Amino acid sequence: MTAVTPLSVSQTQLRRQTIQVRWIAFLVAAATLAAGLYLGALGTAQIVLTGILLIYPPLTQWALQRRQQEPHSLLMQLDALMLGLCLPALQFAPVPSATVLIMVHANAVTSGGIRPWLLNLLLTALGSALGVLVFGPYWMPPDATPAAQTAIALLGLGAYVGVSARFAHQQTQAARAAQQHLAQQQRQAVELSRKLARYLSPQIWGQLFSGRRDARLETRRRPLTVFFSDIEGFSALSEALPLDTLTRVLNSYLTEMTRIALRYGGTVDKFIGDALVVFFGDPTSRGLRDDAFNCVAMALEMQQQMQLLQQRWRREGVTQTLAIRIGINSGSITVGNFGTPSRMDYTILGTDVNLASRLEGAARPGTILISERTFHLVRDRVIARQLAPLNVKGFSAPQTVYEVQHLSQRLQGTGFTAVQTEGFTLHLDLQRLPAEERPRVLRALAQAGKALMQQTQVQLDTELEGFSLHVDSSRLRERDCRKVIELLAQHARRVQQHRPQ
C-alpha cells in the first residue's frame, strides 16, 4: 500500500476545492440570472445562458476526466469568458455584476497569480463584448434592480467567500502539516547523514553529499604521502587489561590521533585494531611537498600527544608503557573505490603503500621512519638523520630511510611542554590551546601553585585540548615541590604572554 503523505493529501484537497469553488461561482451566477427572470427584470433570452451556466461546470469536468487531465489555466480562461457573458445578460446591474466579477477574478488571483488574472480580465472584457452582441447594450440603473435579485447575488457572494475561506484555512493547515512532515524528513536525513559520516572520512563524506563525487567503482593514480602507525606492545596489553579498560584506552587513542590527522588535512583510510592508516593528497591536495610536510608534522604531534595519553592512562591504572611506531612514504599511488557495486571501500593500493607499512614495522617504538622520497620533499623543513639502508620485504634493493627528529628551527613551536614526576604531570601545547580556555588554564595553574606554597593537600585533574595538569600533593616528593611551584609559575607566564600566530 502506498503511504499517503501530507503533501499528497494537500494536492488532492486542492484539486477538489478548485472544482467546488468553480461550481459555486457558476451556480451563483445562474441563480442571479434566474432571479432576474423570475422577477421579470430580464428577458427570456437569458434562459439559454442560465442553462449553459448550470451545464458548463460538470460538462468541462467530465471532459477533463475523460482525457485524464488536471484543471489548468485554459479552463480558468474559459471560465472568465463564460462569466463575462453574464454581465450583459444581467444588463450590467451594479451589485449582481460586481458579484460575478469578484468571484471570477478572486479565483484567478488565488489560483494563478497576477499574469493569469490580467489575461482573465481581458477575456472577461471579451466575453462581455460578445454578450453585448447577443443580449444588447442595456444598462440597468441601481434603483431599477430588484431587491430580491440583489439579495440573492449578495447571499451567493457570501456563500462563495465563506466556502473559499474554509478551503483556504484547510489549505493552510495542509501546508503546515506538509512543512512539519518535510522538516521531520530533513531532521531524519541530517541524523542519518551524521551517522553515516562516522563511517567515512570527512573529506569523502563532504564530497559525496555535495555531489562532487559519485559512489561508483573508479580508481586513479595520484601522488600521495601515506602514513602507517601502530602501538608497540598493544597486543600483549589487550591480554592483560579488562575489556572495558582496553576499549576505553583504544578509543581514546584513536580519537586523539584522528582529531590530529583531520586537523592537518589527512584522509583517514582505516583502523586495523590499534593501527591507523592515513594518506595525504586525495580527495584534496595542497601540493605534493605540503602534503608530505603536513604528514610528517602530524606524525610529530601524534608522538607528543602520546605523552599526554600516557599520563591519562597511568592515572586510570594502566601502568604499561606504550609507544607508537610510524612509517611514512610518498609516491604515485592508486586511490579510489574498490570492491563491488553493492559494497565498496575508498582506499589506496600499490607498492608505495606497502613500503610505508614496512617502514612502520621497522621503526623503533616512539620513532618516525620516512622514505628517501618523502625526505627529499620535506628536507628543507624537517630535521631527520639517515639510517643504514634497510632491507624491506617485497623490495629487491635496500631502501634508504631517515628517522625524523623534529621540525627545522624556524618552524619549531616553542609552546610544547611535557613534564612528569611522582604526583605531578604537566602537558602544555600553546599552539593547540584555544584562546577561550586560557583563563581556565591560568586558574588551574594558580590553584595548584597556591596550594603547594601553603602546603595544603591538593588533588587536581584538569584536561583540555593542548593542556593537561595532574597534581596529587600526597604523592609529590618534598624535594620536587619547589621545582613544581616554579614550573607552574613559569608556564602561567607563558600562557599569559603567548600570542597566537
What is the reported pLDDT for 227? 97
Dihedrals phi, psi of 14, to nearest 5 degrees: -65, -40
Contacts of 84 (CB under 8 A, 6+ apart): 104, 123, 124, 125, 126, 127, 128, 130, 131
Instruction: Please tell me the chain's helix, strand, coil percentages from 3-state DSSP, rounded to the nearest 5.
Output: 55, 20, 25
Ranges in the chain, pLDDT < 70: 1-18, 41-45, 68-73, 107-113, 193-217, 409-416, 500-501
Fold of 222-407: Alpha-Beta Plaits (3.30.70)
pLDDT at residue 2, as a whole number: 43
**Sequence spans of domains, the chain:** 6-180, 222-407, 416-497
The per-residue pLDDT for 276 is 94
For 329, the 3-state DSSP assignment is strand
Q: Is 83 helix (H, G, I), strand (E, B) or coil?
A: helix
Q: Are strands 275-280 and 219-232 parallel, antiparallel or unpaired?
A: antiparallel
For residue 323, list its beta bridge partners: 232
| Angular region, 330: left φ>0, alpha ψ -120 to 50, beta rest | beta
- Cβ distance 377 to 292 under 8 Å? yes
Query: If phi over 0 gives left and psi between -120 and 50 gives alpha, with beta otherwise, what is residue 163?
Result: alpha
The set of cell numbers assigned to 429 is 601545547
> What's residue 7's pLDDT?
45
Distance, in Å, from the CA atom of 34 to the CA atom of 260, rounded to the nearest integer, reads 84
pTM: 0.59
Residue 383: the pLDDT is: 92
* 3-state SS, residue 468: strand
Question: What is the predicted pLDDT for the residue at 111?
Answer: 63
